[in-house]
Amino acid sequence: MPQPHCRKPRLGAVVLFTLLAACTTVPITGRSQLNLLDPSTEAQLGDQAFAEVEQKSPISHDPAANAMVERVGRRLAAASGLKENWQFIVIAEPKVNAFALPGGKVAVYAGMLPVAQNDAGLATVLAHEIGHVMAHHSAERISRSELVEAGTNLASGVLGGGNPQSQQLLGALLGAGATFGLELPFSRQQEYEADHIGLDLMARAGYDPRDAIAFWRRMMAQAQSGAVPELLSDHPSDQNRIAELERLLPEAMQNYRPA
Ligand SMILES: [Zn+2]
């Protein structure tokens, strides 16, 4: 049955089999999405982008920061049901930002931790970012961008070292734009969807979903004070978002099992 949100792409060279397999269903929300990348290709792209991030970024060896990110990240990863090769790093930069790449590679900038304040605050951010991975938002974005072929070639090593511009674009499409110097926000629909999945995920991992509202209020307060956190430059945060989280809270509370 045709789905209103799953249109065929304007790609001449895509084989019929790919088109038939192109619609997938997002977990939790049940939305039908266009997805022309198989999960292993998407994960390979994520791993390649992450290798670049690790090369370009100062890695933090602060034991407390790393322990916190590992502790919260592993619990969310286990609850996500994704069998990825998870890896968590802290980048020693003051940006208030974090991202999770397909394939399970997660980075938190050191500046995020004072705003997160505690495990539940950090769980809010990481559950949202892992929500983008669970929903294959990167693959969906690449599928809509006519970069499917470039992505597949990059993943299979056809481009070798790769054309720097297409690598930068793919890094941005995957959600690591802050590091690649090319911000490319997820769509508003994808952001609301990551909030929805993230709220459910943090609850199932044993973090009180009510703390998500407190966290986003802290982020809003930061933005209103004039210092707009990097996370908000590509993640909309406003009263509508808080209202939507409050609407979804009863559903998430049903899945909340205090750790
Ligand atoms: Zn997001």
Q: What is the pLDDT of residues 183-231, one digit of tens each?
A: 777 888 999 999 999 999 999 999 999 999 999 999 988 888 877 787 8
Residue pair 8/22 in contact (Cβ under 8 Å)? The answer is yes
Q: Which pair of tokens denotes residue 66?
A: 């790393």
Number of folded domains in the chain?
1
Lookup result for tokens 């993640």 = 235
Distance 186 CA to ligand 1 centre (A): 7
Residue pair 133/102 in contact (Cβ under 8 Å)? The answer is yes
Lookup result for tokens 């909030």 = 195
Please choose, from the candidates 4, 32, 36, 43, the residue with its C-alpha nearest in 3D space to the C-alpha of residue 17: 36
Q: Is residue 32 part of a domain?
A: no
Distance 17 CA to ligand 1 centre (A): 31
In tens, the pLDDT along 93-103 reads: 999 999 999 99
In tens, the pLDDT along 66-110 reads: 999 999 999 999 999 999 999 999 999 999 999 999 999 999 999
Q: Is residue 18 part of a domain?
A: no
| 11, pLDDT greater than 80 | no
Distance of CA 36 to the CA centre of its chain: 18
Neighbours of ion ligand 1 (CB under 5 A): 191, 194, 235
Distance 195 CA to ligand 1 centre (A): 7
Range of the domain at 136: 38-255
Residue pair 90/68 in contact (Cβ under 8 Å)? The answer is no
Q: Is residue 235 part of a domain?
A: yes
Residue pair 49/170 in contact (Cβ under 8 Å)? The answer is yes
Q: Is residue 127 part of a domain?
A: yes
- Give the amino acid at 163: N
The Cα–Cα gap between 59 and 57 comes to 6
Assessment of whether the complete model's pTM goes beyond 0.75: yes
- List the catalytic residues: 129
